[in-house]
Amino acid sequence: KYMWLHKEHLYVAFLDIKVAWLGVNISLFVVYFLTFDRGEKYFYTRQILGSALPWARASAKCLNFNSMLILLPVCRNLLSFLRGSCWCCRRTMRKQLDHNLTFHKLVAYMIALHSAVHIIAHLLNFEWYNRAKQATDGDLASTLSHLHEDDGLWLNPIHSNTTTPLYVAFTTIPGITGVIITLCFILMVTSSMEFIRRNYFEVFWYTHHLFVIYFLGLVIHGIAGLVRGQTDKSLEESNPKLCAGQYTEWAQGNSTHCKVPEFQGLPAESWKWVLAPIILYAFERALRIWRSCQKVVVVKAIMHPSNVLELQLYKKGFNMEVGQYVFLNCPSIYYLEWHPFTLTSAPEEKLFSVHIRAAGDWTEALIDNFKQPNPVMPRIEVDGPFGTASEDVFQYEVAMLVGAGIGVTPFASVLKSIWYKFQHGDQGLQTKTIYFYWICRETGAFAWFRDLLASLEQEMDESGRAGMLSYHLYLTGWNSSMVGHAAVNFDRSTDMVTGLRQKTFFGRPMWSNEFSAVAAAHPRALAKTLQKYCHQHSSLDPRNVQFYFNKENF
């Protein structure tokens, strides 16, 4: 068993998706840089553009590659299928899928990097084209710029001595589409900043849909073929190694051994890279639209302390796993706005539920609606469920679950599912011990979760599994009088804050001590919690403790 785990670690390290992705980027750049920097087909093009040519073309290939990938991490149905439904997706691969949004951001950063290189290189190209066209010294670059101006076999796209690079940028298809897709990309990246996404979600939502214009511009960006290379036939009849020195004879037509070189535009290739992802994403959106149109019934709405709303919903054919999430839309608030919420119900329940905390205009409007004396049940649309790392919790003998505030919601689903498994006498449960940590700022936040923990305490005592759940509640928003009152009542059988048997801690967990304690109690356990301490407390020896970190991403 432990040797297999060791091999799995090596397999993940070798085939880590981010390492492979970076390797492909480097390989593509190097290969195409050398192709345009050394290839005979582009010898004459380099006489005008110099080293800016390979920089522009190599970065263009990397842009195509990353534009192909950028949509895949946000195809949530595809990821959910690979994570939960596909038999070939083992745990090592599922752990990679859990970082889909991180990978999405990395691809975006790579697009930004290559866009900068591509833009700078082409600005230089336009300048070199213009200089070669205006030059009167009769050198090779100037001669090439005046060949075939009337028959379409030209090399220099600038055909006037008065043209400026700025004019070319805003009057040619590559120029204007380049400007448009660059502006769209800048808006998408800047609006994705944490501050804007959290506080002005509508800005993030609208600007991110500029990806439609981005891909449309990308597809038609290269159809004009302004950057050119020598035709294959011309390369045979006028090899630059033998004929470049005869360029002074081309204008007079006196060359006897070599014909005047002819050129053609490079074919547009972006559509070949992005067509499949665009079709896949279109099917993804169609599926989500169809699924979101199915009727959802709001069975019950409960207001909890700390301004937390619980919605219990019913939808025909809705199937879920522990810790999954859905997107909710309320057309009466805003028709186009969808927000993710973790399911707090268990798969064994007929209804599914979410807990919503006021954290923005949309959630505040929804909660205010249900706070009315006789609230009108608004129409709720549901898209999902989608898979997360929490689905894997029952695959480990020991699990550490860490939640902060409303972030505890996926573990509500996990603990409820355990409670139902006890109720139905499920003896095949692989998980033997759960360490549950919940960190809250105020006492009211404990209220909505307290009943579930109390039920679990009682059920585990009656079933003889009292040691299975070890929960630790931490209150970060406290004062000295509260601590003093807790100290006076420390001998009580129940906690003064939660009413549970486990005492509430004041402050934040000392994670190093917690991990050390878990490692000592379970010397061969696999655990799930914070990444920093997972690495710190995982042994290099595969026979000893290994901590696995899974983080939920929306």
Last residue of a domain, one of 286, 302, 328: 286
Q: Helix/strand/coil (H, E, C) string of 333-369?
A: CCCCCCEEEEECCCCCCCCEEEEEECCCHHHHHHHHH
* Band of pLDDT at residue 10, cut at 50, 70 and 90: very low
Residues 158 and 297 in one domain: no
Distance CA 288, CA 80 (A): 13
Strand blocks (E) in 79-220: none
Residues 282 and 303 in one domain: no
93 with 230, same domain?
A: yes
Which helix (H) or strand (E) is 263 found in, with range? strand 263-265
Number of domains in the chain: 3
Strands 433-440 and 352-357, how do they pair? unpaired
Domain of 343, in residue numbers: 293-370+378-385
Least confident of 111-120, 243-252, 312-321: 243-252
Inside any domain, residue 69 = yes
162 and 67 fall within a common domain: yes
What is the helix, strand, coil percentage profile of the chain, to 5? 55, 15, 35
Residues 136, 262: one domain? yes
Same domain, 152 and 40: yes
**Residue 359 in tokens:** 């954290």
What pLDDT digit, counting tens, does each position of 454-489 carry? 777 777 777 666 667 777 878 776 666 666 656 655
Same domain for 66 and 129?
yes
Domain boundary, last residue among 253, 286, 319:
286
pLDDT tens string 176-194: 999 999 999 999 999 988 8
The answer to whether residue 319 scores a pLDDT higher than 50 is yes
Same domain, 249 and 357: no
Q: Is residue 192 part of a domain?
A: no
Q: Given 286, 307, 324, which residue is the final one in a domain?
A: 286
- Name the residue among 458, 477, 323 with its Cα closest to residue 405: 477
The verdict on whether omega for the bond into residue 378 sits within 30 degrees of 0, i.e. cis, is: no
Between strands 308-314 and 352-357, the pairing is antiparallel
Q: How far apart are CA 459 and CA 467, in angstroms?
A: 12
Lowest mean pLDDT among 16-25, 76-85, 202-211, 442-451: 442-451
Instruction: Look at residue 293 and tell me whether its pLDDT is greater than 80.
Output: yes
